[in-house]
Amino acid sequence: MTFFLSRLLARWVGSRGWLLPAAVVVFVFVTSWPLMALAEPAGSELVRPGTYWWYFVVTATTVGYGDYAPETVAGHVVGGYVIVGGIATLTTVFTKLASVLEQAKGRRMQGAEAVRATGHTVLIGYTAGRTERIVAQLLADDVTGLVLCAGEEVPAHPMPARPVRFVRGDPTAADVLARAAVPHAATVLVDMGDDNAALAVAVTVDHANPAAHVVVTLRDLERAELVRYVDPRIRCVQWHSPRMVTEELTSPGIAEVYAELMTAGGADTFSVTLPESLGRLPAERCRTAMGRAFGATVLAVRTGTDLVVNPAWDAVLAAGAVLYYIGPRRLTGAEVETVLRAEAC
């Protein structure tokens, strides 16, 4: 009886929501109380107002503390009625709750739920394998609050095991960007399948959140001029360099530094081999002497097959080491030897 009643209630609950189980509980309570009063002896402690509600709760939920119990056979029948009604109601409530949770999970997996966040990072566009690598690097750099906004071609959350929320839809649509909370994001990466799509999305994102740090990946960096017409603060990064993408997201402006280093004119990167006649040298002396004399900054040093980026100031460089530096021009070994010997004096 309990099984069939719960199944019947479950079907009704599907169309009537939470109202029916609440109505059933109220109905069972209202009808069982006078029935219990008729079944029990006059003056019974069980049917007093301050007691019966407690008996009803522990009986309907099948907890059964046993502190109050019917004394008559008719009272036991009424108690059975309360138990059956409680079980049926609880079954439908838990069924409805499970259904609601499953539907909510399904909506999140399908990217239909709106994200409520501020100061987060939104990744717009999905490329299998590539996006996973970008996400993994950002998580390794302790970036939290990631939101992936992908197009309709992505049917479900592609990274459900990672701490990344998912929104699905046309990234040029204002309502989709709103669901991804782009207007409240601190950083936005536009990483689309082609440059035309990337440019279109960049315009939409800039309109939705002009204050965000926006990074756009392009296959043809010459098209970056088009982006600058929209907003000169938007950073464009070579699509084929995922590591540079994540560095620009976490350290705004680093892509411009890289681009400047690889552009002719101004400061460039060079290398010079230290004359072996100088012997072993402290890295501090090399940095100080080259900086003062030539305006050069030592980036790395190579000894044999070993390369050390940003060597420690107290490191000792082997004779004949190769220095990599940023400077206004290329230096000769003789020039470096002259300033290093002068520095030692």
Domain end point (choices 226, 241, 261): 261
> Are β-strands 146-150 and 121-124 bridged in parallel, bridged antiparallel, or unpaired?
parallel
The CATH number of residue 328's host domain is 3.30.70.1450
Calculate helix-pair angle for 49-60, 19-39, nearest 10 degrees.
120
Domain end point (choices 109, 135, 151): 109
- pLDDT value of position 221: 87
Same domain for 295 and 236?
no
Same domain for 196 and 280?
no
Six-digit token pair at 331? Answer: 């230096």
The CATH number of residue 84's host domain is 1.10.287.70
Same domain for 286 and 332?
yes
Same domain for 174 and 88?
no
Q: If residue 28 lies in a helix (H) or strand (E), which one and from where to where?
A: helix 19-39
- pLDDT value of position 134: 95
Residue 271 pairs in a beta bridge with 324
Question: Are 117 and 184 in contact, with CB atoms under 8 Å apart?
Answer: yes
Q: 114 in a domain, yes or no?
A: no
Same domain for 320 and 254?
no
- pLDDT value of position 11: 56
Same domain for 25 and 80?
yes
Return the beta strands (E) in the chain as ranges: 121-124, 146-150, 164-168, 187-190, 213-218, 235-238, 268-273, 281-282, 297-303, 306-309, 316-317, 322-327
Q: Each residue's pLDDT tens digit in the chain (345 positions)?
A: 444 545 554 555 455 566 777 777 788 888 888 888 888 888 788 888 888 888 888 888 777 777 888 888 888 898 888 888 778 777 777 777 776 666 666 667 787 889 999 999 999 999 999 999 999 999 999 999 999 999 999 999 999 999 999 999 999 999 999 999 999 999 999 999 899 999 999 999 999 999 999 999 999 988 888 888 889 899 999 999 888 899 999 988 888 887 777 665 656 889 999 999 889 999 999 999 999 999 999 999 998 889 999 999 999 999 999 999 998 889 999 999 999 888 776
Q: 256 in a domain, yes or no?
A: yes
* CA-closest candidate to residue 68, choices 59, 77, 80, 60: 59
C-alpha triplet 3, 96, 79: angle, nearest 5°: 45
Same domain for 73 and 131?
no
Q: 301 in a domain, yes or no?
A: yes
Same domain for 98 and 154?
no
- pLDDT value of position 2: 46
Question: Pseudo-torsion of CA 8, 12, 14, 16, nearest 10°?
Answer: -160
- Whole-angstrom distance, CA of residue 34 vs CA of residue 15: 31
Same domain for 152 and 46?
no
- pLDDT value of position 107: 67
Same domain for 180 and 74?
no
User: What is the extent of the structural domain holding 290?
Assistant: 268-344
- Whole-angstrom distance, CA of residue 255 vs CA of residue 258: 5
Same domain for 103 and 158?
no
- pLDDT value of position 100: 63
Question: Are 25 and 78 in contact, with CB atoms under 8 Å apart?
Answer: no
Q: 115 in a domain, yes or no?
A: no
- pLDDT value of position 167: 94
Q: 66 in a domain, yes or no?
A: yes
Same domain for 320 and 244?
no
Q: What total of structural domains would you count in the chain?
A: 3
SS3 track for 102-158: HHHHHHHHCCCCCCCCCCCEEEECCCCCHHHHHHHHHHHCCCCCEEEEECCCCCCCC
The CATH number of residue 159's host domain is 3.40.50.720
Domain end point (choices 215, 233, 261): 261
